[in-house]
Amino acid sequence: MASSSLALIFQGLCTALAGVVLVVIFLNIQFPYLLQDCKFCWTLFKVKQKRAVFRKRKPFYTVLDCFLNRVRTRPDKPLLVFEGREYSYQDCDKESNKIARALRKHGNLTQGDTVALFLGNEPRFVWMWLGLCKLGCAASLLNYNIRAKSLLHCFSCCGAKVLIVAEELKEAVEEVLPTLLEQKASVFILSKECNTAGLQTLVDKIEEASNEPISPELRSNVTMGSPAVYIYTSGTTGFPKAAVMTQERIWAGTFYLFINGASSEDVIYIPLPLYHAAGFVIGLHGAIQRGMTVVLRRKFSVSQFWDDCRKHNVTIIQYIGETMRYLCNTPKRESDKMHKVRMAIGNGLREEVWRSFQSRFGHIRIVEFYAASDSNIGFINYIGKIGAVGRENFYQKVSSTFILFFPHALIQFDAERGEPARDSNGLCIPMPQGETGLLVAKITTIAPFIEYARNPEQTEKKKIRDVFQKGDAYLNTGDLLRIDKDNFVYFQDRIGDTFRWKGENVATTEIEDVLTALDFIKDACVYGVKVPGTEGRAGMAAVTLKSGSEFDGTEAFSHIASYLPSYARPQFIRIQNSLEITGTFKQVKVKLVGEGFNLTIIKDPLYLHMDKDKCYKPMTMNYYNSIITGKMHI
């Protein structure tokens, strides 16, 4: 009796087990990424809970408070490693106290003020920012490549009253100093001595200041909606626009590392500029949030990269597509796989580079993401699917209650007219799954569009209305994406008046303005062309000459070099008899883009940007072949 009932139970168990196995097999075939999706959603849920707790805390718990917590719990842990020196969490705290005191006294700062930082990657960049946080001030992170009018524009468009400049950028600031002083700006240079009238020294003042803690009273008004940093993105009207990152948005960005499983034991390598959100928010603040160590580099160096990683036991690296390609293009070394790097986080990695990177440098988990500082939507490729910038999962589609889960769609884009296609009711047309469309994301309270500082016109331009219903408003990302049947998201192209080159956004109109300032150029039309073996697009300017004028390649080179940062300089100039600036202009541009710099098609005179000769030289078949075969780098 007993044995037969045991047998029955056993049989039942076996059936149940077989059932479970079958269900698991079925789910695995039907939804191969179910487990990872669930895990990811669970992590996001935890992040959401954390943020809800932070949000409720009074006074508001800022990223600075998070940093100060780390200072209390692990004062001696290195936060920054830079050029052979280590700076602990406590060191950074003290340095930032000194800076805060010096700036409060000599810069007359109170909470709510904005200070522009014009310096490269170095520990002081981080201390400055922390010091400003302690005073309840916002920092405007200027791209140190900008000059002249662009610099003035970026300084004033965020309402900054103080400018802090690295010693090596003194000349760039002297050029615009009279205007700055006219605007009653205080300008500090990071040196002990300076003979230029109107430039105040700061290093001596910092050295004199005490490193005692700064009273939280001084930042008592900071809330999650307070502007924390201004980050610049290329604009369509010429000058860069300042995207306002609130305290809340910084918090959101800091969780990228957490979501992808970074722990306090990790060491992150940041060779990307801190004036971009990737390096500053995702890298630096992600590290502070986890209590990690940051190995900071002034600039990316292909020859030092792996040596740095080995020397500092780096476990996480931050990349853009270009840096990964440069690393893959170096001669193979025996030590290629000797390092502790386990994860690479970034964006813009092409499929072929992805494969060659992993086969060459060992199994490193690659986390591509899609995000922009002026956007309200992001994707993360947490599965590691080669070539995809992210993943849309069931959660994201169904629910919009959680952070990072935003209503969005790919809509049909009319390339000839350069705008979204509309149906007979004037509404946009969603693309079927698997086809390329323009990504738009609904503007909601949880996915707000962070406006551009003092630029209502550009803010409005970034919006698209009457998308699926009359009266609705979406953010136009300007990016063409494709989402495959497995819900992986692929970046296809960027539309409109910007393109990416060397990891920077380039605004075509800014270049056009610079070109037409040359006395022999009548009109200019700038666009990006694809070059085999490179990321993004290289700048091409189709220009017409004033009657009776000749193209002067040397003058064009020096004029462009003095007004545009290197990544924005057109690599090619194409001389045309006429440029149509009419209703069909967009179509003309489409045709020009299609022809690229293909010398077998283009019959117009074509010039090539030659750094070493400091001029634009006529393009030859020889140069052309060297470029397309990768022998010549542009």
Ligand X SMILES: *[C@@H]1O[C@H](CO)[C@@H](O)[C@H](O)[C@H]1NC(C)=O
Q: Which residues bind ligand X (CB under 6 A)?
A: 108, 110-112, 221, 312-313, 598, 600-601, 628
Shortest distance in whole angstroms from residue 150 CB to ligand X:
27
Q: CB of residue 450 vs ligand X: minimum separation in angstroms? A: 22
The H or E element spanning position 557 is: helix 553-563
CB of 518 to ligand X, least distance (A): 29
> Any residues with CB less than 8 A from the CB of 94 and at least 6 apart, and which?
211
Shortest Å distance, C-beta 293 to ligand X: 9
**Closer Cβ to ligand X, 73 or 221, answer by number:** 221
Q: Which is nearer to ligand X, 73 or 625 (CB)?
A: 625
**Dihedrals φ, ψ of 87, to 5°?**
-130, 120
Contacts of 62-66 with C-beta under 8 Å, sequence gap 24+, read 62/133, 62/219, 62/222, 62/228, 62/247, 63/133, 63/228, 63/247, 63/250, 63/251, 63/254, 63/285, 63/288, 63/289, 64/130, 64/133, 64/134, 64/219, 66/288, 66/289
Q: Which of 132, 103, 118 is nearest to 173 (CA)?
A: 118
Is 599:589 a contact under the CB 8 Å cutoff?
A: no
Closest CA to 348 of 366, 361, 374, 373: 366
Q: Which is nearer to ligand X, 73 or 598 (CB)?
A: 598
Task: Considering the complex, state which of residue 601 and residue 621 has its C-beta at the smaller distance from ligand X.
Answer: 601
Residues in CB range of 320: below 8 A, 6 or more apart: 272, 278, 346, 347, 348, 503, 535
Residue with tokens 């302690």: 134
Measured from the CB atom, the residue of 196 and 598 that comes closer to ligand X is: 598
CB of 345 to ligand X, least distance (A): 21
Shortest CB 219 distance to ligand X, Å: 9
Closer residue to ligand X in complex, CB, 184/332: 184
Nearer to ligand X, 287 or 371 (CB): 287
**Helical H segments across 74-169, by residue range:** 89-106, 123-134, 148-157
- Angle formed at CA 293 by CA 292 and CA 298, multiple of 5 degrees: 135
**Closest to ligand X by CB, 398 or 601:** 601
CB of 358 vs ligand X, minimal distance in Å: 23
Nearest to 48 by CA among 324, 374, 403: 403
Q: How far apart are CA 138 and CA 160, in angstroms?
A: 9
Nearer to ligand X, 1 or 601 (CB): 601
**Cα-based distances in Å from 207 to 95, 101, 190:** 9, 10, 12
Structure tokens of 194? Answer: 């300076």
By beta-carbon proximity to ligand X, the closer residue of 265 and 519 is: 265
CB of residue 307 vs ligand X: minimum separation in angstroms?
A: 12
HSE-up (13 A, CA, CB side) for residue 2: 0
The least distance separating ligand X from the CB of residue 476, rounded to whole angstroms, comes to: 30
Q: Which is nearer to ligand X, 140 or 236 (CB)?
A: 140
Shortest separation between residue 312's beta carbon and ligand X, angstroms: 5
CB of residue 109 vs ligand X: minimum separation in angstroms?
8
Residues with Cβ within 8 Å of 569's Cβ and at least 6 positions away in sequence, in order, are 511, 539, 560, 561, 609
Of 255, 331, 291, 233, residue with least CA distance to 89: 291
Residue 583 tokens, joined: 């209703």
Give 267's contacts (C-beta < 8 A, 6+ positions apart): 292, 293, 294, 295, 312, 313, 314, 315, 316
Nearer to ligand X, 330 or 625 (CB): 625
Sequence-separated (6 or more) residues with CB below 8 Å from residue 14:
none
Q: Which of 452, 474, 454 is nearest to 464 (CA)?
A: 474
Between CA 588 and CA 558 the distance in angstroms is: 29
Least distance (Å) between residue 112 CB and ligand X? 5
